[in-house]
Structure 1
Amino acid sequence: MTDLNTYFYPALAVIFFFIIYGYIVYIRQMREKEEKNRKKKLDQLVATPEEERKEALSLIKEQSPSDFFLQSKLQKVEGLRQWMQQAGLEISPFYFISLFSSFGVFLFVFLLLYYQINYLTSALIGVCASSFSAWAVLTFLRNRQKEAFLREFPIALDILRRALRAGFSTERALEMIADQQKGIIGKAFRRISDRMHLGESAEDVLADMSNRIGVDEFRMLSIVFVLQRETGGSLAEAAENLARIIRGREILREKVKSLTVEVRMTAFVLACLPFLSLTIIYISSPTYLDPLFTTEPGKFLLIIGSVLLATGITIILRMSYKDVY
């Protein structure tokens, strides 16, 4: 028992260190990949003839056109407030943090009093559980809002293209989208139209809305919109190209889903198998699992097993539901 207590906390600290380090590396790689994809899409959206591209590169030797546009227009801001706005949550970050902190405190007290786990382990589980649950809720809500936005965004782009080619101004075209579209699209363009009518600059309004919505396709349209107001160009053609790209990606996404049904079902079964096995064991022999909750070695193995299980399920789900379109 003494040896177990001696090595328990260092081993637990090492495990969590590698988990956090791996998560940080993963997030960094994902952001680099998103940045490359954004630049590639912007190059496709505002494609220029080769002569004009060479002339522009001769004027900007150290940066490509997409680098220059992305670094000078509509800076991307990320934080808890922006993530909550992208998830559709209208509460303040303070209340959000307080809610999940209360969940962590409740879990800490429950483990401490009911299972009689020591203070440090209970606190560590409470902090990890509250942090993970907050991240999971935000991720789920953000993905749902993004899917709802992208589902109707091509229709809004078609309205914008038809209005511009009919001779309407860009401000009137945005107002027409707000009048004809419902849901998240209608609210977003209504907010843009109202703020621009109040005298705010288009760049400030679109930068704020790009961070609020959190969809790269809308950010690219905003960049093209700002550049068109400053230098001229065909916004209708850019909207048509962007709508075609979004619809092509959606078709590809549905095709990939239909071809990977077996893989995703296998991942789902593997993720549910440990919980199903524990449930069957508990029903058949309720006292068989008691040592995991009543002894120090059992608690140690339970924590290690839970961490490894959560890591494995996360890897399986990320491999099965990876979105690279």
Structure 2
Amino acid sequence: MTLIILMAVGGTVIIFLLVMGVLSFVGASRDEAEKKVGHRLRQLALTEVEHQSFDLLLAQSSMSQVPWFNRLLLRLKFASNISKTIRQASVKGTAGTYLLLCALLGLAGLWGGMVATGKWWMGAGLAGVLGYLPLFWLERRKSSRMNAFHKQLPEVLDLMSRALKAGHTFGGAMRMVADEFDDPIGGEFGKTLDEINYGMDVDRALKNLLDRVDVADLKFFAVSVNIQRETGGNLAEIVESIARLVRERFVLFGKVRVLSAEGRLSAWILSALPFVTAGILYFVNPDYMSRMWTTELGLQMSYGAIFGMALGMLCMRRLVSIKV
């Protein structure tokens, strides 16, 4: 009875913390961010700030609203990687918010797994899966946004090439991109142009663009612009060549995707086949199939099968993931 009471109390506390964490995440404090910006602008207006100090002031970011937790996260490399992923995914929240959400979901999974099965290792496995969900969502959002940026890039480079040939400056060509194209590429180029207009060096502004956008083909553009500024040359022809190169890489990626389609389809079929077969058997003979989770031997066989299937899925994923 005491164990049941402790589990009930623990579940209540976990659910309460989870709900409060989600509400805190959804209601991200825009007012707090505006107060910080206003405070920094007042500091700039009242004091003389050198160029390096100005850059540092703009570059400051907080990973958590809790001071001691923020100091702890600043020392951890994976926390800075999460912050970078948040910027690239263009979502609300801080690294501290997502880490706390991971911890709360992990605790909920640990408690739920132990209550449902009575085995700590099942609770630990469920805690790992649930705890990784926020980071998995972040990676998916980042991947989706970067893919959209990559698809827009050839058209953007063509537009910039035509604008440069028509006599526009590099800043004017970037302004056309920021005005004509939707997010993500329009917004990112607009931020880069704003940094240049506010006095930042072009090299550093392009470096910041590469930090915000994880697209390999964009590096060709940034490096080419920096080299052209130092050595000279026809920037319009350089940008046009990069656009052609990006399109050729798209064609190559398409061929690789077609050639690996059979392997991906086989992986999906092999992954779904055990679940489909188990469902059919349960529909035909429930008593026969229910022994897999009503007897000790059946549970052990089920756990072993799940582990083997997870390992097989990882192996098949590595086999069909071809990097070019």
**Category of TM-score, reference length = shorter chain:** 0.5 to 0.7
Equivalent residues, number: 246
What SS does structure 2 have at the residue aligned with 1:159?
helix
Alignment correspondent of 1:251: 251
Alignment correspondent of 2:187: 187
Aligned positions of 1:47-86 closer than 5 A? 79-86=81-88
294 and 130 in structure 1: CA distance in 2 versus 1, 3 angstrom threshold: same
Residue 171 of structure 1 aligns with an amino acid whose one-letter code is: G
Asked whether the equivalents of residues 206 and 222 of structure 1 are also in contact (C-alpha less than 8 Å), the reply is yes
Shift in Å at residue 111 of structure 1?
1.3
Structure 1 window deviating more from structure 2 (299-308 vs 263-272): it is 299-308
What SS does structure 2 have at the residue aligned with 1:167?
coil
Alignment correspondent of 1:196: 196
Question: Structure 2 length as normaliser, TM-score?
Answer: 0.67
- Aligned alpha-carbon RMSD (Å): 2.6
Unaligned runs of 5+ in 1: 1-77
Residue 96 of structure 2 aligns with an amino acid whose one-letter code is: F
What SS does structure 2 have at the residue aligned with 1:156?
helix
Q: For the residues of structure 2 that align with 1:323 and 1:148, how far apart are their CA atoms?
A: 20
Q: For the residues of structure 2 that align with 1:181 and 1:240, how far apart are their CA atoms?
A: 18
Structure number with greater CO (CA < 8 Å, separation at least 6) is: 1
Residue 163 of structure 2 aligns with an amino acid whose one-letter code is: A
Aligned positions of 1:119-198 closer than 5 A? 120-198=120-198
What SS does structure 1 have at the residue aligned with 2:167?
coil
For residues 60-107 of structure 1, the C-alpha deviation after alignment (integer angstroms, 9 at most, x for no partner) is xxxxxxxxxxxxxxxxxx711112222332321122222233222222
Alignment correspondent of 1:55: none
204 and 294 in structure 1: CA distance in 2 versus 1, 3 angstrom threshold: farther
Structure 1 window deviating more from structure 2 (276-285 vs 203-212): it is 276-285
231 and 246 in structure 1: CA distance in 2 versus 1, 3 angstrom threshold: same
263 and 125 in structure 1: CA distance in 2 versus 1, 3 angstrom threshold: closer
Asked whether the equivalents of residues 101 and 130 of structure 1 are also in contact (C-alpha less than 8 Å), the reply is no
Alignment correspondent of 1:219: 219
Alignment correspondent of 1:69: none
Shift in Å at residue 169 of structure 1?
1.6
What SS does structure 1 have at the residue aligned with 2:171?
helix
Question: Structure 1 length as normaliser, TM-score?
Answer: 0.67
Residue 79 of structure 1 aligns with an amino acid whose one-letter code is: N
Shift in Å at residue 185 of structure 1?
0.9
Q: For the residues of structure 2 that align with 1:298 and 1:211, how far apart are their CA atoms?
A: 51
Structure 1 window deviating more from structure 2 (242-251 vs 138-147): it is 138-147
Unaligned runs of 5+ in 2: 1-79
